[in-house]
Amino acid sequence: MVSVSQIAPSAPLRSRKRAPASPRKRLAILGATGSIGRSCAQVIAAAPDRFSVVSVAGGRDGAALAKCAIELKAEFAALADPAGYADLKAGLAGFEIEISVGPEAVKEAALRSADLVVAAIVGAAGLEPTFAAIAAGRTVALANKETLVCAGAAVMETARRVGSTVLPMDSEHNALFQAIGARDPQTIETMTITASGGPFREWSAERISAATREQALTHPNWVMGPKVTIDSAGLMNKGLELIEAHHLFGLPADRLDVVVHPQSIVHGFIAFADGSLIAGMASPDMRTPIAHCLAYPERIASGVRPPDLAALGRLTFERADLKRFPALSLAIEALRTGGGAPTALNAANEIAVAAFLNRRIGFGDIARLVAKTLSAMTEAGELGAPADIAEALAIHHIALDRTASLLA
């Protein structure tokens, strides 16, 4: 596992001679049909001699996965939902691409012989295949934050034990990873991730609570899938990212922070013991952290221009308002509580966000429903620390059931 204590010192400067061509890096892309998967395809297309794709995996859209597999010249395509098998088969008719369906097929995609596994399946559905890749000692580029939110201690301990490398692909954690460099992690005072503030940054609590589906899905800076976009609108995503950072970098909750940065240029920064503040900056485009992870430890073009700071004029920062964004407060409290609280938080949030997207509850009800689930599970003594993936999934399913019951 790559951790802040294992990052090699920067290489000395050398002349600009072209390095000898290296073999293509073999990639497995889990969540190939989502926004991260599509951005991966763009980076790969811009560097066709650098990568080959051994497997792709998707959720339920067989036609989309077939198109993706053809575009990436994948050897194997796996679809989680068997209902999409006919579309996948029809879309790949005439192509020599293996296909399979069901959760075990997705796990098989994760375990194909790859140099790097991109873990970009949204939600807890990504936990098992991502963990399978890590347990097998694969290098994993992690864009599925729920894996560490649900079972961070077990996942990272397994990575340490088997020697798996975990590269953070979320823009915030990737910025922090780059900002650490070769610096001693023991000298870190605080790590801070930034939030754009989403579409409701300047709204009152009452107006936020009454926000419509369409308003919540209109993000000012990023183009993401619907679930992540709703999480971003309520700042739940920042809470999940704090939990992820805790496991990735080993810092306690009181040394992790969130600030609102509307321009989305600074993605994270680290304060060191000597008073230095090192920031990771990039344009708000996921192709930048994707290119960093795909080519690591080398650098390749991502197709994204670096920010023009003079043209921007200024960058602004403000404290996150926990009263107007109670979902962030719930996530911070779950991080501090530990045990199974983050696992239950994530599961309850998945149900609540789906209910909002289906117009069953209001936007303000998302945080209220999550809070009720956590309270009920605390009273029932159901939030013990999961010792392994199986226990994490058990807590996850209990939380799903409790949230669904409260919703009903």
| Domains, the chain, ordered by start | 25-172 (3.40.50.720)
Q: With contact defined as beta carbons under 8 Å apart, do 109 and 55 qualify?
A: yes
pLDDT band at 19 (very low <50, low <70, confident <90, very high): very low
Which has the higher per-residue pLDDT, 17 or 361? Answer: 361
pLDDT tens-place string over residues 322-347: 999 999 999 999 999 999 999 999 99
CA distances from 312 to 193, 262, 264, 284, 405 (A): 20, 12, 11, 13, 48
CA 331/CA 328 separation, integer angstroms = 5
Structure confidence at residue 5 as a pLDDT band (50, 70, 90): very low
Q: Tell me the per-residue pLDDT of 160-197, one tens digit each, with 9 for 90 and over.
A: 999 999 999 999 999 999 999 888 889 999 999 999 99
In this prediction, residues 213-242 reach a mean pLDDT of: 92
pLDDT value of position 395: 97
Looking at the predicted structure, is the pLDDT value of residue 12 above 50?
Answer: no
Pair of tokens at residue 170: 């979320």
CA pair distance 182, 9, nearest whole angstrom: 5
Q: Is 165 exposed, middle or buried (0-12, 13-18, 19+ CB in 10 A)?
A: middle
User: What pLDDT sits at residue 174?
Assistant: 98
pLDDT band per the 50, 70, 90 thresholds, residue 21: low
Give the pairing of strands 266-272 and 277-281: antiparallel
Q: Rounded to whole angstroms, how far apart are CA atoms 32 and 34?
A: 6
pLDDT digits (tens, 9 = 90+) for 268-313: 999 999 999 999 999 999 999 999 999 999 999 999 999 999 999 9
Tokens 């998967």 found at: 37
pLDDT tens-digit profile of 88-125? Answer: 999 999 999 999 999 999 999 999 999 999 999 988 88
Q: Say if CB 308 and CB 301 are below 8 A apart.
A: no
Residue 249 CB partners (closer than 8 Å, separation 6+): 3, 4, 176, 180, 185, 188, 191
Q: Is residue 9's pLDDT more than 60? A: no
pLDDT (0 to 100) of residue 223:
78
Q: Is the dihedral of CA 5, 121, 358, 219 positive or negative?
A: positive
pLDDT bin (cut points 50, 70, 90) of residue 14 is very low
Phi/psi of residue 380, nearest 5 degrees = -85, 0
Cβ 271 vs Cβ 277: under 8 Å: yes
The SS3 call for residue 189 is strand
Q: Which residues does residue 117 pair with via DSSP β-bridges, in sequence order?
A: 28, 140
**Pick from 94-108, 116-130, 198-212, 213-227: least confident:** 213-227
Average pLDDT of 7-33? Answer: 63
Q: What sign does the CA torsion over 315, 172, 396, 359 have?
A: positive
Query: Which of residues 49 and 220 earns the better pLDDT score?
Result: 49
pLDDT score at 22: 64
